[in-house]
Structure 1
Amino acid sequence: MINGAHIIIYSQDAEADRAFFRDVLEYPHVDAGDGWLIFRLPPAEVAVHPSDAPSHELYLMCDDVNATVDQLSAKGVTCAPVTNAGWGLKTGIRLPGGGELGLYQPRHETALNL
């Protein structure tokens, strides 16, 4: 049976993004060989949304988006303005490799504690 998920982030600067996950987010990791870091993520959930143009996004979740933005900003991370999406407060985190991760504080029940 399926026992996990492996998420891939494509980057124009993979080394910088790996350093971001290691040094800024401080995610535990293993070295799969030659400095190829694989990170343990916090507990996760998946949602399926309707769309005419299928795509995928990665959002990190937090309990207090404003406090998290303050912590990230203190580490030199650029975050988009926090906005109210109704279902939660959200922002974006700019990765060194040019990509962006979503970050949000949900206002809805989550599946994390099932």
Structure 2
Amino acid sequence: MITGTHAVMYSKDAPALREFLRDVLEFDSVDAGGGWLIFQLPPAELGVHPTEAADAGHELYLMCDDIHATVKELEGKGVEFVRPVEDAGWGLLTAIRVPGGGQLGIYEPRHASPN
């Protein structure tokens, strides 16, 4: 039935964001035509959180094994972090600024994972 997940990121500068995902985060990709890159993501999991909002939207986070080592590595590549690492209870959390606007959360989970 379901064979995978396709996540979408919107950007005012999509080519720069594609380069960032390919060159800085080093995600493998295929060209779907005309330079439109589709990226392979690491293994994923899906959490469902309660809300009272009628149209709450969705969020995308990257996960890592060692948040402090990841921050150091990405800072070495010129990545801007929008907030310091914080302990959210369920994990250690921060976020990076991505080309074209917006943020992308990164966290080191402290919860069990199905992967």
TM over 0.5: yes
The TM-score, its normalising length taken from structure 2, stands at 0.95
Which consecutive residues of structure 2, in runs of 5 or more, have no partner in the other structure? Answer: none
Paired residue total = 112
Which consecutive residues of structure 1, in runs of 5 or more, have no partner in the other structure? Answer: none
Which residue of structure 2 lines up, in the alignment, with residue 57 of structure 1? 59
Which residue of structure 2 lines up, in the alignment, with residue 47 of structure 1? 47
Would you identify which runs of 4 or more consecutive aligned residues in structure 1 move more than 6 Å?
A: none
Cα root mean square deviation, aligned: 0.7
Which residue of structure 2 lines up, in the alignment, with residue 3 of structure 1? 3
Identity %: 62
1:109, 1:42 → 2: CA distance?
17
- Larger strand proportion, structure 1 or 2? 2
Q: How does 1:1-114 map to 2 (within 5 A)?
A: 1-53=1-53, 54-79=56-81, 80-112=83-115
The TM-score, its normalising length taken from structure 1, stands at 0.95
Q: What is the one-letter code of the residue matched to 1:62?
A: C
